[in-house]
A and B are shown apart, each in its own frame.
Chain A
Amino acid sequence: MERRTLLQVIASVGGAGAFATETAEAQTPLPAAPAAYQRKVFDDHQWRTVHVLCDLILPADEHSESASAAGVPEFIDDWLDFRKEQDGTDRLETEILGGLSWLDRESNHQFQKPFADASPAEQKQILDRIAWPGRAAAEDRRGVTFFSRFRDLTVGGFYSSKMGIADLPYLGNKAVMDWKGCDPEVWAVIESRLKNGYKGLGGEVKADG
């Protein structure tokens, strides 16, 4: 796909064919896909909890599969290790591992089993306390901080994966021979919203004066 697109660009360029064979070989070496991911941070129990939690945050729907199917647990495990190396501190890793323990403690306390073994309804009961920072109880503050961080990692990992990018309305990263600016049909939608007002996710957006 990448190579074909690139060759299309080059084919369209008179006189530039000389480097067609070399161009697709980016000098920046791409790592070979690992056969099986080697965990760096999570132990077996944490690993199971991470899978459950990722898929509660981004479950499969009619557009794409779940976060774990897109390799988000692997992304998070790798990311924690990467940040530790880059930042020279295990602050993020500690926050995430501590948060997973917090989930287990809450689950054990309420349901007498660790979070990963609780029923989906029980799991959601805990998440509902920490997933909306604006309405969480003060005593759940630590769970809220953890969950916001974990959710961002899940979202970042999913939507930068092949599956996640395909899920979004992103049509770029390809050669366009004739740039025309904003699609007139899209602009017509914007104009109609400007004229008539728009009921956004966060409430009503007023029409243009």
Chain B
Amino acid sequence: MQIQPTPKTYDVVIVGSGAGGGVAAHVLALAGAKICMLEAGGWYDPSKQSAMFQWPYNAPHRGASTREKPFGYFDATLVGGWQVPGEPYTSAPGSDFRWWRARMLGGRTNHYGRISLRMGPYDFKPYSRDGKGFDWPITYEDLAPYYDKAEELIGVFGTAEGLENTPDGKFQPAPAPRGYERLIKRACDKLSIPCIPSRLAILTKPLNGRPACHYCAQCGRGCAVNANFNSPGVHIFPAMKTGNLDVRTGAMAREIVVGSDGLARGVSYIDKKTGRDETVYGKVVVLAASCCESARILLNSKSNLFPNGLANSSGLVGRYLMDTVGSSVSGYLPILEDLPAQNEDGVGGMHLYMPWWLYQQQKAGKMPFARGYHIEIGGGRDMPGASVFGGSERLLGGGYGLEFKRNLRKVFGCNIHFSGRGEMIPNDQSYCELDPNAVDQFGIPVLRFHFKWSDDEILQAKHMQETFQEIVTAAGGHVTLHSSAERNWGIAPGGQIIHEVGAARMGDNPKTSVLNQWCQAWDCKNLFLTDGAPFVSNADKNPTLTITALGWRTSEYIADQMKKRNLAG
């Protein structure tokens, strides 16, 4: 490839603008580095583009999900989903993996659930605890100060609980629970399952000029006042105010350009507007394109020096890909029928959740699977949409006419939902690689996925099903939707929970890891990763907060090493 000389060399080139790219840009721009950020999608500013307060009847097909908008018409993800036009991927025979991508400024931080759980001390040393998977090269104590910083910047509500392996954080006050949530908590109390205020990146007090939440429950549509955490509003725009950050949208990264000294020189990308190849040069390259996209860029960065792709002397780029174990149950609580009207919207998500609680039973060898899950809950009087009653026949046994209509009014909001989110242990059969045949519309080789659950995950899903049904019953309700053995206990296909991490793991040995403990490539000292790719394990704690904390730690290290001139040739 012929490289067009460009006059400007940035201090740092960042690929990706989601949680990982955003935090790197924020920390490094405030530290004075001159940065160029590449984003494959378009510009997005929730303060101007949010669809909050819209009604379903103002949207095509009442806002139903489509291939183009899997989370519905009003979802903040303007371009993205499990299929992106012109950007295919493939699955190996026998594997079912679905790769979500958000092609927009801020990436997945625009629509995500804002669940912000710290990994605990056990989660960094899982191999030491049960002999499965791998240990991280860092401890909880190494990351704790960065969890503090991350929470204080993005704003997370919660409560101090002191529970095992469930570290408390720098929390804003938690919002009071909804009625059905209090009933679920009563049921959990009976079953000795802890049910505590959730921990979400939504403000309940003003922070850095951002107002507190106004409780419209539609965080997923983007928040016009930035009361929730999203990378554009919280990381990128403040970073741009320093004058140190240039953002290039519509810039689809192809590969990392490497010099004859083996160091990264910059990133070559396709400018989607002109269709032309461009290169942006930097002294340091930070990949934060999302776990699988970053692996893809590394594998596509082939050169004489790095014939197997950049940072891949271990052969581990793409390996040990993980998602989260997900399984769901729905129930119906008759006690909620025909209650007086009240606004149950609240924040965009649950006000209570259940952290994993069976650590001691596991340690004592009394559980049939390793690792745990937390429980996310939903229900109540949500904004009605086209699937408002989720099958009225299931609720009322049938009917039509005046009495049927009267009864529907009474059963509105009586459904409750439980979703488990559990840890997947990395395995040899779950990975991504370059497909030898297929390319995308830009001619870039695409990923081929291999994915397998082990018995640990399947049995965990079984435990979820049994537990959630117990909770529904203990709350005085009946189960309306569940899964059983023939459907593998309802375990969601790989990638469907959109928590993919791994694929370029960190470690303390260059032969068995891609990155060192600073998320710095062993093979290329001025190349860093700040997305989910460095994850060594995938605890049941949703990844975004850890991506943010780890990215912060990596970015501080980059700033320090640049100052000491340790990253140059």
Contact = CB atoms under 8 A, between A and B. Distances in A.
B525 interface: no
B335 A186 contact: no
B339 A25 contact: no
Interface in A143-179: 148, 151-152, 155-157, 159-162, 164-165, 167-177, 179
Contacts of A63: 409
A28 B57 CA distance: 14
A169 B48 contact: no
A182 B177 contact: yes
Contacts of A31: 60
A78 B383 contact: no
Nearest to A209: B190
A75 interface: yes
A121 interface: no
Interface stretch (B112-120, B211-219, B515-523): B211-219
Contact of A13 (B60, B204, B211, B400): B211
B50 A23 contact: yes
B49 A26 contact: yes
A172 B407 contact: no
A35 interface: no
A151 B401 CA distance: 11
Interface string B310-347: 00000000000000000000000011110111111111
A174 B383 CA distance: 11
Contacts of A27: 48-49, 51, 78
Interface stretch (A4-12, A39-47, A98-106, A111-119): A4-12
Interface stretch (B80-88, B390-398, B416-424): B390-398
Contacts of B388: 155-156, 159-160, 168
A170 to B, nearest CB: 5
Question: Chain B interface residue count: which class?
Answer: 35 or more
A131 interface: yes
B191 interface: no
Contacts of A28: 49, 51, 54, 73-74, 78
B374 interface: no
Contact of A173 (B178, B204, B216, B404): B216
A37 interface: no
Given A28-B51, A152-B392, A202-B334, A170 B383 contact: yes
B369 interface: no
A181 to B, nearest CB: 3
A190 interface: yes
B175 interface: yes
B78 A82 contact: no
A181 B179 CA distance: 7
B393 A152 contact: yes
A201 B337 contact: yes
A131 B225 contact: no
B176 A169 contact: no
Nearest to A144: B398
Contact of A151 (B177, B216, B346, B392): B392
B411 interface: yes
A30 B48 contact: no
Contacts of A201: 334, 337, 396, 407, 410-411
B392 A176 contact: no
A75 B62 contact: yes
Contacts of B209: 15-16
A15 B209 CA distance: 7
Nearest to A12: B211
Contacts of B50: 23, 26
A58 B391 CA distance: 15
Most buried by A among B58, B59, B177, B406: B58
B402 interface: yes
Interface in A58-99: 58-59, 61, 63, 75, 78-79, 82, 86
A183 B340 contact: yes
B490 to A, nearest CB: 22
A170 B60 contact: no
Interface string A13-35: 11110010011011110110000
Contact of B340 (A22, A162, A186, A205): A186
Contacts of B176: 179-182
A139 interface: no
A177 B213 CA distance: 8
Given A186-B340, A189-B340, A5 B53 contact: yes
Contacts of B397: 132-134, 202
Interface in B36-81: 47-62, 64, 66-67, 73-74, 78
Contacts of A169: 339-342, 381, 409, 412-413
Contact of A170 (B48, B183, B381, B406): B381
B408 interface: yes
Given A187-B182, A201-B407, A174 B177 contact: no
Contacts of A168: 381, 384, 388, 409, 412
Contact of B179 (A5, A58, A186): A186
Contact of B402 (A61, A157, A164, A185): A61
Most buried by A among B78, B213, B397: B397
Contacts of A152: 389, 391-393
Contacts of B476: 205-206, 208
Interface in B367-388: 381-388
Nearest to B182: A182
B399 interface: yes
B562 interface: no
A131 B399 contact: yes
Interface string B8-25: 000000000000000000
Contact of A131 (B182, B351, B400): B400
B341 A187 contact: no
Given A159-B389, A171-B341, 19 more contacts: A10-B224, A10-B225, A23-B47, A28-B74, A31-B60, A58-B405, A78-B61, A156-B62, A160-B386, A161-B57, A165-B57, A171-B342, A172-B344, A175-B214, A182-B177, A182-B178, A186-B342, A190-B339, A193-B335
Q: Which 9 A-B pairs have the closest CB atoms?
A: A181-B176, A27-B49, A200-B334, A172-B345, A169-B341, A132-B398, A182-B179, A175-B214, A13-B211
13 contacts: A12-B211, A26-B50, A27-B78, A63-B409, A131-B398, A156-B386, A160-B386, A168-B388, A169-B381, A171-B342, A173-B218, A183-B340, A193-B335
